[in-house]
Amino acid sequence: MKDFYVPKASGPIVEMGNHRGYVNVRSETTVGGFSMSHVQVDADGGVPPHIHRREDEAFYVLEGLFEFIVGADAFIAGPDDTVVGPRDVMHTWRCISPEGGRVLIFFTPGANMEAFAFGFAQKVSEFAVAGPAAMAAFAAQYGIEMLPPHFETLPSQ
C-alpha cells in the first residue's frame, strides 16, 4: 500500500446521477486488491438490478435506510449493517430515507469497477437522454449485466 491516510472528503469524486462518491482507496493503492468509495445517496437513489461478472461488491451503511435485493433475498439495511453482492449474483439497492443516506462501497478487485465508474460519470447526462439501453451497452463493456427493475415487490418498513 502506498497511500496510508486519506483525509475526509478527498480522493476523486464520481457523480453517478442520484448518488456520488469519493473514491477514497484506489485500486492502484492496493495493487488491484480492492477499491473503496464513500458514497452519498439521494432519497430514492440507487442502482438498477445488475450482475457483476468481474468483481464482488460490499456495502457498509453509515447513515439512512437502504432496500437491497441480493439473489432471491430482499431486506432493509441501516447504519452499521453490511451487505455483500457477490460476483455472478444479481443485486440492486436504493435509499429509502427521505433525507438520503451514506454508504461505504468496496469492490474487489477494484480496477474494472473504477474504470466503469469514471467512464459512467463522464456519460451520465448522455444516458439520461439515450436511455437504459445505452447504459446497459456501456456497462456490458465492463462485465456488468443490467436487468429489469425489481423493487415493486419489496415491502418498505
Q: What are the pLDDT digits (tens) for 98-135?
A: 999 999 999 999 999 999 999 988 887 887 788 888 88
Q: Which pLDDT score, from 0 to 100, does residue 154 have?
A: 44
Q: Parallel, antiparallel, or unpaired: how do β-strands 13-15 and 82-85 relate?
A: unpaired
Phi and psi, residue 153, nearest 5°: -100, 0
Q: Which pLDDT score, from 0 to 100, does residue 102 have?
A: 97
Q: What are the pLDDT digits (tens) for 50-59?
A: 999 999 999 9
Mean pLDDT of 79-97: 97
Choose which CATH entry (2.40.128.20, 2.60.120.10, 2.60.40.10, 3.30.70.20) describes domain 13-143. 2.60.120.10
Sheet holding 13-15, edge to edge: 13-15, 19-25, 35-41, 101-108, 56-63, 82-85
Higher-pLDDT residue of 87, 16: 87
Q: Rounded to an integer, what distance in angstroms lies between the CA atom of residue 119 and that of residue 66?
A: 25
Enter the pTM of the model. Answer: 0.88
Q: Rounded to an integer, what distance in angstroms lies between the CA atom of residue 118 and that of residue 82?
A: 25
Locate the domains of the chain by residue range: 13-143
Element (H, E) at 47: strand 46-52
